[in-house]
Structure 1
């Protein structure tokens, strides 16, 4: 485990896994999420607009327009209401600060994924400037988008910029990087 703080708590589980299961190493030189694959017939798979500058041309290409203040609405997530910048049918629009820098959790993202086919997240900073919890919440949000096959549109900076310079920041974000590449290639 990359974070040794809780490793000792998981050691008994590791021992049971090793005793009762065949452990196979499936790592290899190819990250298959980064390879091009055909889209399934009749639908999108993991579509996103990634790291868009917040300009109107790029948004219009995705069929989006910047929300007006009058479109702000409270959206019920798992056990809380979250302030959305806009709700437009199957599309919900949030700021990074609301979904990643406040006390949200995976059940909130799952609830949103059940109700909306497209989630727009604007104000995305380089994750090197986000809080530790914000980085983890962002990774969780990307996981939910991939697993639930919802369209995720990210507007702002490249979230992975600057992470390579500090390995303590990039820890546990390899999967997120890989999934963002998978989302991007599906556009």
Structure 2
């Protein structure tokens, strides 16, 4: 056996992975999907002559908290899937590609640009694998039902995806969510929804003894948050120059450039987040899109930095209320960041939250509002 199940069991036997009942069950389901896809790719002479398409296997939707093994299982699935007609892509990058293709189709004045985009995307493709399905803007929410209906039902592409949330919690409380509800129905009808939400956060364990708050600013602090990023994303440190970036939709036609964005982890500079004119809605968009963020270059602030301190407070409120993990490089410990100036007394609440966000209890929380 050379499929995902054999590879997973081998890793457990060699103690590179801990035994995990949820992971084992998902590996069994993914092995069945591999078998169906690979069998469908081995068509006989008559089927090839008639150019018939093999039966379409049901897809898989894996969901669970950060560090439960979703990306690891997805990696194993794609790596061991013995067909050429497969594609692995981060969901955010995929939707950016869809948006670009849609604009091209509109310029050509196509009657149904979504159908054309789906057909083009499905060319030479039988299995489409996503990492980190998350919906954070109205534009994506409005087209996803039609796009994925065309991909899955019309073009017969089998979809495998991971997400931090179950389908019914996607785009929760989002603007015009009624437009998105048909997509949730599609997922529940066409994909097997499998939980990976056990008590152990393996990604958190891999952080080892890396702290979340690093001071003073300098090479040592930068090296620590850089190492945290690579442990959280499984991205090879030697390929650091090629880490993907992203354009986060802030609504109203505005976007925020994220220099490093991968597997729900985003890297930002303090200057970009707090020295520019931003409001609570911008910070909420960040908190909803990323389960972990890294902020570099937090300075000491004084009375002349009142606006930056206020924005920083709003940012931390949004991150805290959505249980976003925070790693930073800073010029000082939280209590020395803004000791005097307009609003310094109120800043004490931000200090308290920053302290709590370093705790093991906070780091073990799942992403999203905890109410």
Q: Same fold (TM over 0.5)?
A: yes
TM-score w.r.t. the length of structure 2 is 0.34
Pick the aligned partner of 2:348 from 170, 174, 181: 174
Residue 108 of structure 1 is matched in structure 2 by 282
Q: Deviations over 1:87-108 (max 9, x none)?
A: 1121111111111111111111
How big is the shift at 1:41?
A: 3.9
Name the counterpart of 1:152: 326
Counterpart of 1:76 in 2: which secondary structure? strand
Asked which structure has the greater CA Rg, the reply is 2
Q: Alpha carbons of 1:101 and 1:162: their partners in 2 closer, same or farther (altered >3 Å)?
A: closer
Q: Deviations over 1:103-143 (max 9, x none)?
A: 11111111122111111111111133872111011111111
1:75 to 230, 244, 248: 248
Comparing 69-78 and 82-91, the one that deviates more = 69-78
Q: Does 1:163 align with 2:338?
A: yes
Gaps of 5+ in 1: 1-39
Distance in 1, matches of 2:342 and 2:305, equals: 12
Which residue is equivalent to 2:214? 51
Which of 270, 284, 302 is the equivalent residue of 1:128?
302
Superposed CA offset, 1:126-161 (max 9, x none): 133872111011111111111101111112322542
**Residue pair 2:297, 2:330 contacting (<8 A) in 1 also:** yes
- Higher relative contact order (CA closer than 8 Å, sequence separation 6+): 1
| RMSD (Å) for aligned C-alpha atoms | 3.1
Structure 2 unmatched runs, 5+ = 1-197, 205-210, 364-371
Q: Distance in 1 between matches of 2:262 and 2:222?
A: 19
**Change beyond 3 A, Cα 1:151–1:143:** same
Cα 1:108/1:167, change in 2 over 3 Å: closer
Give the count of matched residue pairs.
144
Contact 2:248 2:257 in 1 (8 A): yes
Whether contact under 8 Å (2:299, 2:331) holds in the other structure is yes
Deviation at 1:67, TM superposition (A): 5.9
Task: Give the TM-score normalised by the residue count of structure 1.
Answer: 0.63
Name the structure where helix makes up a greater proportion of residues: 2
Does 1:95 find its partner at 2:269? yes
Change (3 A) 1:176 1:162: closer
